[in-house]
Amino acid sequence: MKRTEDILSKLLLQNNDDWEIENVVCDDSVEEIRITLKYCHPTIKVDGNEFP
């Protein structure tokens, strides 16, 4: 059986290996799903500049 994180990863992060789903919380009382993402690399490159 697939975990919720695995299913959501296929739906939300189809073409991107830079991010992974760290945590999923389903709150039925307010019909809300909270997803915590984690960046998989120590730095990010934007327009040739590298940031931590």
- Residue 1 vs residue 28, higher pLDDT: 28
DSSP string, the chain: ---HHHHHHHHH-TT-SSEEEEEEEEETTTTEEEEEEEE-SS-EEETTEEE-
pLDDT digits (tens, 9 = 90+) for 33-49: 898 988 899 998 889 99
**Six token digits for residue 16:** 């991107």
Per-residue model confidence (pLDDT) at position 1 = 66
- Residues forming beta bridges with residue 46, ordered by sequence position: 49
Q: Which residues contact 46 (CB under 8 A, 6 or more apart)?
A: none
What does the pLDDT look like over 13-32, one tens digit per residue?
777 788 888 888 888 899 98
Phi, psi dihedral angles at 2 (to 5 degrees):
-80, 145
Given this model, what pLDDT does residue 49 score? 93
The tokens describing 34, both together, are 């909270």
pTM score: 0.61
